[in-house]
A and B are shown apart, each in its own frame.
Chain A
Amino acid sequence: MPDIKAIYVHVPFCKRKCKYCTFASYCLRENDIPAYLNGVKKELELRSAGGIIDTVYFGGGTPSLLSVAQIAGILDTIKNNFDLRQDAEITVEVNPGTVDLKYLSDLNKAGINRLSLGVQSFNDAELEMLGRIHTAKEALKVIDDANGAGFSNLNLDLIYGLPGQSLKSWEGSLLKALETNPAHLSLYALTLEPEDLLFKEINSGKYPEISPDTAAEQYELAEKLLKNHGYTHYEISNWAKPGAECCHNLVYWQGGRYLGIGVAAHSFIENRRTANTADLDQYLDALSCGKPPPQELNEIIPVEIDIAESVILGLRLCGGIDLSHFQKRFNIDIMEWYKEPIGELLNIGLIETDKNLIRLTPHGRLLGNEVFWRFLPDTV
């Protein structure tokens, strides 16, 4: 079994909930932050394990609501309980509008070497529609500050496929982002759940319906534009300057094992995937007594699902999956194991083979789900 390579720490606090967000996050609970951080440290101690950790990721919620000292404190606990590599990738998600140059400089000095900035759009009307707490100008300011603070490894998150968003408007946001020359870009199609406020607002007619055709065009535009600017498209929704691929997320896509700490955080250790309770109070209660948090998911991943997930996640990578890797890891020949779906998908042009690789075609990247579901085993 592979060792744990990545640690994820969830910070479930926000100033305000975005209108498209379904992650675990709590507003107006900032007084609980100190207790929560004690809990996180306790959980790290309880779950300390061997293996060399390549990457740590502070996600949320809004991790930048924590003080630098608080983040550094958690990092110390990790170092004390795990074998964290000297040159590990350590990322903090930052919400524009929550930090300044001083904060970011201190963060850099504390050993954080990568920032992921939730910019989402450079159009104020779109930011407002999404329920973001910042403006485009504030986003540009935080990018400036991050550069000034010494961060060279920056990711910007942008969202396309917004209700009523034109191709032109999307191109505007992309060009603005490219002007700042980030090392990494994550471009996500807006995906709404029925419980999201924005979903309800679209239903009530406040905003127009999302057009999947426009989203497809926006995606294709981004592929072209980013290629011209020297970015490698390395995963369905991610682009990077050569060498700046996100080490943390690659652990997920390459089927690596990871430890998730905090409210609602997921772990995948050996053959078991677990998730901590998404309820902040339950989490606090358990850890204040020194007990592990209740789990809301605890499933054994049988080997045929592990194989299916590994193929599905692997195909998200533009490099595709390496057949010899599967041979070595699961002792199976993928071409034989998935003879039927692979044949069908080659036939309809959604995947292609290249020597020892299978990968999505550009067409397949837009229709990934049509590829992915075919690899799932039949359920009883």
Chain B
Amino acid sequence: MKQLRKRNFCIIAHIDHGKSTLADRLIQLSGALKGDKMVDQMMDSMELERERGITIKAKAIRLEYQAKDGITYELNLIDTPGHVDFAYEVSRTLAACEGAILVIDATQGIQAQTISNVYFAMDHNLEIIPVINKIDLPSSETEKVLDEIDSILGYKSDEVLQISAKTGQGVPELLEAIINKIPPPKGELEHPLRALIFDSHYDSYMGVVAYISVNDGSIRKGDKLRLMGQGTEFEVVNIGYFNPNFYPTGELLAGDIGYIATGLKSVGDCRVGDTITSIENGADKPLIGYKTARPVVFTGIYTTQPEDHGQLREAIEKLSLNDASFTYEPENSPVLGNGYRCGFLGLLHMDIVQERLEREFDLSLIVTVPGVKLMITRMDGSQEMIVNPSDLPEPSELLKIEEPWAKISVITPSAFIGPIMELVTQSEGLYKHTEYIGHSHSPDALGQRVRLEYEIPLRSMLTTFYDQLKSHSKGYASLDHEVIGYRETKLIKLDILVNGVVVDAFSRVVPPEKAHEIGKSMVEKLKEVIPTQMFKVPLQASVGSRIVARADISAKRKDVLAKCYGGDITRKRKLLEKQKEGKKKMRSIGKVEVPKDAFMSVLKMER
């Protein structure tokens, strides 16, 4: 099909604003797939994605649509991840398109993360079609949302489409707008090959499959290709597009969106954002600056039972074949034994990886308190990056510590400015800016919506900051963040001792003035979650040799089956077997059986 009849676009939307439903509706109304083949939310394929209602990995689909002008167009819809942890992947997806549908929920209005995605799309000269979704809901406030879009993004109300992806209302008009507003791909078929990788996954038959947008030139099966950023070379084993499954075509031309199977063994060799060209007569310049997404959150991952360490190694290796953005390095804990220090793009990414390791590989894991990467300078001037609190040198050896800061943007009804300000201050953040959104025609009880800007240590955003932001704003506030660099800070290491033994998995770096408060809430939380033992167990929080908080778990007094007669023996044995099984979910630390949930509980603790 001629390049002029192609339209490559994506959908930008906040979680739950209806992106997947809209994708399904576009597929259905364009007539490319028969209704009986439709599975709800066709584009979220991973089980975990469906459960969490978020799209983790971008996917693409090719549709054919006959427009009102009588011409049949080829539409390529690329799905984008909806969470800030995957901002880098979103940016590559946007770079692969000429246009974007911006979906905003008629009941919720613009959310913080959406804005940064829209700005990014604007920077890349994407044609944006703003759409208000869910107009069929009784609680929709279309007028108010139109006002917000005008105020923040500058689109007048006549440029904004009003639709319901659920009922299909307004979607035919949207399809026409895609044809009329979004330009066709502008690459040159005759130029040297340049194709952008916007996603990839590992397939045990085909090796790494790269999802690509071909800008210039063409690719055929058997072509020998090179990645301009990484330098990886490979041969095209298979090539085609998505219908939505792999549909081999033998070639892709300038303007096409599709896949190539590379035969490579790890997605790490074929990273998102890199530009593909030919080995011979290749292009000079990549399509977009290539960089790797850098992990910002680090945590130790161990198995509950030390003897399962081998399985963890295998699982992590397998998983990393499919996820190039998490990093891992072996580490050894005096208490937990062999494990890995893993780096993630954010907390959600961390949760997802942990859940996949447990679910797909049937492991029982202990995850330590998450932390950031610190830059330390010693007295002798030497510098080092550390990700494990245990590596923090003694204060006497330290000249300075620097830690990453983030700029955050919060959108909230003005009624919650006070509580949010308080939360940010408690979290060591600094206020920067307030911006009122729209010209509220009828301010309701919660007031007009505002966008607040702060700067805050990234460390403070780990664990519960987001949950607290939600609870301080009755669920209304939305958050976006971006790491902005390192700043000098004062931090010390807070240790937790269980029965006199320092448990490094609980260690964390905190500001000195907060050591007591954090230590106290940690030992109290642990007291709730560690079951009573056969002896009294002291839980202590310490800074160096100084104990800053303590709580004791009293000894278990009684645990015995009262009766055991002829009719009970088998049943009672099964109860004891269960008790024995339960011990396997515990980690023995200083003779104390600590359930794996205990590690989770301090991690999710309110401060």
List the interface of chain A (C-beta within 8 A of B): 6, 8, 23, 188-191, 212-213, 215-217, 219, 236-237, 249, 251-253, 258, 260, 264-268, 273, 275, 297, 299, 305, 308-309, 312-313, 316, 348, 350, 365-370, 372-374, 376, 379
Do B577 and A252 touch (CB < 8 A)?
no
A364-B570 Cα distance, complex, nearest whole Å: 22
How many whole Å from A317's CB to the nearest CB in chain B?
A: 11
How many residues belonging to B are interface residues under a CB distance threshold of 8 Å?
Answer: 23
CB proximity of A269 to chain B, nearest CB, Å: 11
Q: Which of B305-313, B480-488, B557-565 touches A?
A: B557-565
A354 to B7, CA, bound (A): 87
A-B contact pairs, 20 of them (CB 8 A): A188-B562, A189-B558, A190-B562, A213-B557, A213-B558, A216-B557, A217-B557, A252-B565, A260-B567, A266-B569, A267-B566, A297-B570, A309-B573, A312-B576, A313-B564, A366-B559, A370-B556, A376-B573, A376-B580, A379-B577
Known: A190-B562, A251-B566, A367-B534. 9 other contacts (CB 8 A): A189-B560, A216-B557, A236-B561, A309-B569, A316-B564, A348-B534, A366-B560, A368-B560, A372-B576
For residue B245, CB closer than 8 A to chain A, the reply is no
* B396 interface residue per 8 A CB criterion: no
Contact residue among A8, A188, A212 (Cβ-Cβ distance under 8 Å from B557): A212
Whether, in the assembled complex, B579 has its beta carbon less than 8 Å from a beta carbon of chain A, the answer is: yes
CA distance A364 to B303 in the complex (A): 31
Instruction: Please report the C-alpha to C-alpha distance between residue A374 and residue B582 in the assembled complex, in whole angstroms.
Output: 12
Chain A contacts for B566, CB-based, 8 A: 6, 8, 251-252, 258, 260, 266-268
With a 10 A CB-CB cut-off, give which of B559, B560, B562, B563 has the most chain A CB atoms. B560
Closest beta carbon of chain B to A296's beta carbon, Å: 11
- A309-B569, A369-B576 known; A252 vs B563 contact (CB < 8 Å): no
Complex Cα distance, B348 from A340, in Å, reads 43
> Which chain B residues lie closer than 8 Å to A316 at the CB level?
564
Q: In the complex, A309→B558 CA distance in Å?
A: 21
Whether B573 lies near A312 (C-beta < 8 A) is: yes
**Contact: A313 with B569, CB < 8 Å?**
yes
Q: Contacting B570 at CB < 8 Å: which of A260, A265, A266, A348?
A: A266
CA distance A219 to B565 in the complex (A): 20
**Contacts of A313 on B, CB cut-off 8 Å?**
564, 569
The smallest C-beta distance from A9 to any residue of chain B, in angstroms, reads 12
- Complex Cα distance, B558 from A273, in Å, reads 30
A residues near B563, Cβ cutoff 8 Å: 188, 191, 237
Q: How far is the CA of A268 from the CA of B564 in the complex (A)?
A: 14
Q: In the complex, are the beta carbons of A265 and B577 less than 8 A apart? A: no
Chain B residues whose C-beta falls within 8 Å of the C-beta of A297 in the assembled complex: 570
Interfacial chain B residues near A264, Cβ < 8 Å? 567
Q: How far is the CA of A134 from the CA of B20 in the complex (A)?
A: 65
Please name all residues of chain A whose beta carbon is closer than 8 Å to the beta carbon of B558 when the two chains form the complex. Answer: 189, 212-213, 215-216, 219, 366-367
User: Roughly how many angstroms separate A366 CA and B534 CA in the complex, as a whole number?
Assistant: 10
**Which residues in B have their C-beta under 8 angstroms from that of A366?**
557-560
Contact, CB under 8 Å: B562 / A370: no
Chain A residues, CB < 8 A from B534: 348, 350, 367, 370
Contact B559 A189 (CB under 8 A): no
Distance, CA A313 to CA B556, complexed state (A):
22
**B560 & A367 in contact (Cβ 8 Å cutoff):** yes
Closest approach, in angstroms, between the C-beta of B591 and any C-beta of chain A?
Answer: 8
Q: Is the CB of B577 within 8 A of A273?
A: no
| Contact indicator A266/B567 (Cβ below 8 Å) | yes
Q: Is the CB of B569 within 8 A of A368?
A: no
A224 to chain B, nearest CB (A): 16
Given contacts A216-B557, A366-B559, contact A305 B573 (CB under 8 A): yes
The distance in angstroms between the C-alpha atoms of A252 and B565, with both chains bound, is 6
Q: A373-B577, A373-B579 are in contact. Are A273 and B569 (CB under 8 A)?
A: yes
With beta carbons under 8 angstroms apart, the residue of B556, B561, B565 that contacts A368 is B561
- Determine if A367 and B559 form an interchain contact, defined as CB atoms under 8 angstroms apart: yes
Docked complex: B557-607 residues within 8 A CB-CB of A: 557-567, 569-570, 573, 576-577, 579-581, 583
Asked whether, in the complex, the Cβ of A191 is within 8 Å of the Cβ of B562, the reply is yes
The distance in angstroms between the C-alpha atoms of A213 and B580, with both chains bound, is 23
Contacts of A23 in B (CB 8 A): 567
Q: Are B576 and A268 in contact (CB under 8 A)?
A: no
Checking A212, A251, A258, A373 against B576 with a beta-carbon cut-off of 8 angstroms, the contacting residue is A373
Q: What separation, in Å, do the CA atoms of A58 and B195 have in the docked complex?
A: 85
Q: Which residues of B contact A251 (CB under 8 A)?
A: 566
Min CB gap B172→A, angstroms: 55
A8–B563 alpha-carbon span in the complex (Å): 16
Chain A residues within 8 Å of B564, by CB: 252-253, 313, 316
CA of A8 to CA of B562 in the docked complex: distance in angstroms? Answer: 20
**Does B561 contact A273, Cβ atoms closer than 8 Å?**
no
Chain A residues within 8 Å of B573, by CB: 305, 308-309, 312, 376
* A370, B533: Cα distance in complex, Å: 10
Query: How far is B579's CA from A66's CA once the two chains are assembled, in angstroms?
Result: 40
Q: How far is the CA of A312 from the CA of B534 in the complex (A)?
A: 19
How many angstroms between the C-alpha atoms of A81 and B93 in the bound complex?
A: 85
Residues A299 and B559 in contact, CB atoms below 8 Å apart: no
**Residues in chain B near residue A370, CB distance under 8 A:** 534, 556, 559
Docked CA distance A240–B559 (Å): 23
Bound Cα distance from A350 to B570, whole angstroms? 24
B569 CB contacts on chain A under 8 angstroms: 252, 266, 268, 273, 309, 313
* A237-B556 contact in complex given A252-B569, A313-B569, A373-B579, C-beta closer than 8 Å: no
> From A238, which residue of chain B is reached at the shortest CB distance?
B563
Q: Which residues of B contact A374 (CB under 8 A)?
A: 580
0 or 1 for each of B277-309: is its CB under 8 Å from A? (1 = yes): 000000000000000000000000000000000
Q: Contact check, A376 vs B570: say whether CB atoms are below 8 A apart.
A: no
